[in-house]
Each structure stands twice: as structure tokens, then as C-alpha cells.
């Protein structure tokens, strides 16, 4: 079953004079439970595409479907409900709230969803254990490292058991050890909770954790790679594809 479908997506920025086409007729399907990647050179439109797929931005034309239902033109209350119930977000700048401690940052989606405090603390404990940040719950974001912040953002993204996690360069500010750990956690969530993951990156190592990667170039689909053998073999294929695309 496809959990998310994009149909003939277009995105323009700017007025009629200097109109810039950022997404040029991209269609894609993501299966439920997939670990799906989007790659491409800087400025190719990856973040824009992810924002459109996750309802953070509306396309200029085209449609996005979540489990068969068109979500492109939902009104704000329905959109907020969908984002809170079904989606989790990990963006590069984390979007942690600086005045809230780690525990309250992680709990935020459940507070918004008006869950009981016992359920909230049980679930916070569960994801904090999964991500190895139990000992950080009382700290403020500024008191923990970048890698730890990234894991807090991942914990918050998965706290409401979303059906899809959208991640934009989630390893962008991590060293290789923290990046590997985060990717292993995402793989675990994907495999153990069946969470669909849609990840944008320009890093071949990060991308090698995906099962399938769509490459975009000049704002359209350039190619697709499906992982067959080991992660290491896939990593090499990704690098070859990047060389074929050029631009970085």
C-alpha cells in the first residue's frame, strides 16, 4: 500500500517577472513502511519537495495523497490534526524550544494532542530509552551537545508514533559517530514500529541507510536507486550516481 503519493507536483517562487521553477512535475509514491531517500545537488529542490510532501508548504500545482486521501488542500485545523497525529518532523535546525527542558520538548506533540500525563511520561521514558537520552531529560537544549539535540529532535518526532517521519538532513550537523547512531535509531524505528521514513540528504553515507533513493536534478526526477545488496554496496552505487549527476 502507498502511504504517500505526490502527483505532478510543481512549485514556483517569485512574481511573473522573475518566476523561478523549483519543482518541475515530480510524481512519486512511497510505500507504507519504506525507508525512502531524496538526494540531489544543493538547490535542486529537496527541502522544498519535502515541505510539500509533509504539508508544510503548498505546491503551485499537483496533489499529495496520504493513504489515498488528498491532503494538498486541507484547511489549517485538519492540517494541524494530520501533522500532529500522523507525521513526525526532524529538521536540520531541530526547532527545539529553548525555554523548555528536554523532557518537555519531547513531550510537546502529546501535550498538543491532550494525552494524559501518565501516558506522556510513560511514552517519554520509552523514546528516551530508545534514543539513549534518559539522563538528559532535565537539561535545557543549550546545555546539551549538537548530537544530543539531534536525538532529542528525533525523540520528539517519534513520540506520537507517527506513521511517517520526515527528516531534512538529519545528520547534517553530526559527527560520524553520532550520525551512525541516529541512522541506526531511525532504522530501528522503521523496522520495529513500521514507521515510514522520508529522508532528504546530500550525504551518501546517510543515504545508504535508505531502501530506495530518488535523485533530483534541475528540479525534476533524474534517477532512482533501489538497495539490493549490503549497505556498503549501496553506498558505492550512491556515490557513482552522484558522480553521474555532477554539480557537487
Using DSSP's 3-state secondary structure scheme, residue 15 falls into coil
DSSP state of 73: T
How many CB atoms are closer than 10 A to CB 1?
7
Q: Choose among Mg ion, ligand ATP, none what residue 13 binds, the Cβ cut-off being 5 to 8 Å by kind.
A: ligand ATP
Q: Choose among Mg ion, ligand ATP, none what residue 124 binds, the Cβ cut-off being 5 to 8 Å by kind.
A: none
- Minimum gap (Å) between residue 69 Cβ and Mg ion: 27
* Nearer residue to ligand ATP within complex by CB, 83 or 219: 219
Between CA 12 and CA 19 the distance in angstroms is: 7
Please tell me whether residue 9 binds ligand ATP under the rule CB under 6 A. no
Phi/psi of residue 13, each to 5°?
-120, 155
Strand pairing category for 164-168 and 196-200 = parallel
Please tell me whether residue 202 binds ligand ATP under the rule CB under 6 A. yes
- Minimum gap (Å) between residue 113 Cβ and ligand ATP: 29
- Minimum gap (Å) between residue 220 Cβ and ligand ATP: 12
- 203 and 183 in contact (C-beta within 8 Å)? no
* Nearer residue to ligand ATP within complex by CB, 42 or 98: 42
Piece of 15-23, 43-51, 116-124, 232-240 that binds Mg ion (CB under 5 A): 43-51
H or E stretch at 70: strand 69-70
* Nearer residue to ligand ATP within complex by CB, 119 or 248: 248
CB-based burial label for 76 (10 Å; 0-12, 13-18, 19+): exposed
* Interface residue with ligand ATP, options 29, 43, 80, 93 (CB under 6 A): 43
* Nearer residue to ligand ATP within complex by CB, 48 or 150: 48
Q: Choose among ligand ATP, Mg ion, none what residue 149 binds, the Cβ cut-off being 5 to 8 Å by kind.
A: none
- 51 and 200 in contact (C-beta within 8 Å)? no
Between CA 49 and CA 34 the distance in angstroms is: 18
Between CA 174 and CA 219 the distance in angstroms is: 27
Please tell me whether residue 48 binds Mg ion under the rule CB under 5 A. no
* Interface residue with Mg ion, options 30, 39, 45, 47 (CB under 5 A): 47
Please tell me whether residue 22 binds ligand ATP under the rule CB under 6 A. yes
How many CB atoms are closer than 10 A to CB 103?
19
* Interface residue with ligand ATP, options 9, 35, 48, 171 (CB under 6 A): 48
By CB under 6 A, name the binding residues for ligand ATP: 13, 22, 40, 42-48, 202
Q: Which residues bind Mg ion (CB under 5 A)?
A: 47
Amino acid at each position: 500500500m502507498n502511504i504517500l503519493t505526490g502527483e505532478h507536483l510543481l512549485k514556483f517562487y517569485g512574481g511573473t517577472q522573475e518566476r523561478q521553477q523549483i519543482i518541475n512535475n515530480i510524481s512519486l509514491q512511497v510505500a507504507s513502511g519504506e525507508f525512502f531517500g531524496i538526494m540531489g545537488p544543493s538547490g535542486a529542490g529537496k527541502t522544498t519537495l519535502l515541505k510539500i510532501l509533509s504539508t508544510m508548504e503548498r505546491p503551485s500545482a499537483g496533489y499529495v495523497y496520504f493513504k489515498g486521501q488528498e491532503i494538498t488542500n486541507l484547511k489549517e485545523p485538519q492540517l494541524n490534526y494530520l501533522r500532529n497525529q500522523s507525521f513526525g518532523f526532524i529538521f536540520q535546525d531541530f526547532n527545539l524550544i529553548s525555554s523548555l527542558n528536554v523532557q518537555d520538548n519531547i513531550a510537546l506533540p502529546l501535550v498538543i494532542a491532550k494525552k494524559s500525563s501518565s501516558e506522556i511520561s510513560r511514552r517519554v521514558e520509552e523514546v528516551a530509552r530508545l534514543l539513549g537520552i534518559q539522563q538528559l531529560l532535565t537539561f535545557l537544549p543549550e546545555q546539551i551537545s549538537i548530537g544530543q539535540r539531534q536525538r532529542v529532535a528525533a525523540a520528539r518526532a517519534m513520540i506520537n508514533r507517527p506513521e511517517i517521519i520526515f527528516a531534512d538532513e538529519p545528520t547534517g550537523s553530526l559527527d560520524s559517530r553520532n550520525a551512525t547512531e541516529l541512522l541506526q535509531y531511525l532504522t530501528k524505528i522503521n523496522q520495529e514500529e513500521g514507521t515510514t521514513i522520508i529522508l532528504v540528504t546530500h550525504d551518501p553515507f546517510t543515504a545508504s541507510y535508505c531502501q530506495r533513493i530518488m535523485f533530483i536534478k534541475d528540479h525534476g526526477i533524474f534517477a532512482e536507486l533501489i538497495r539490493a545488496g549490503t549497505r556498503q554496496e549501496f553506498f558505492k552505487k550512491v556515490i557513482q550516481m552522484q558522480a553521474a549527476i555532477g554539480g557537487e
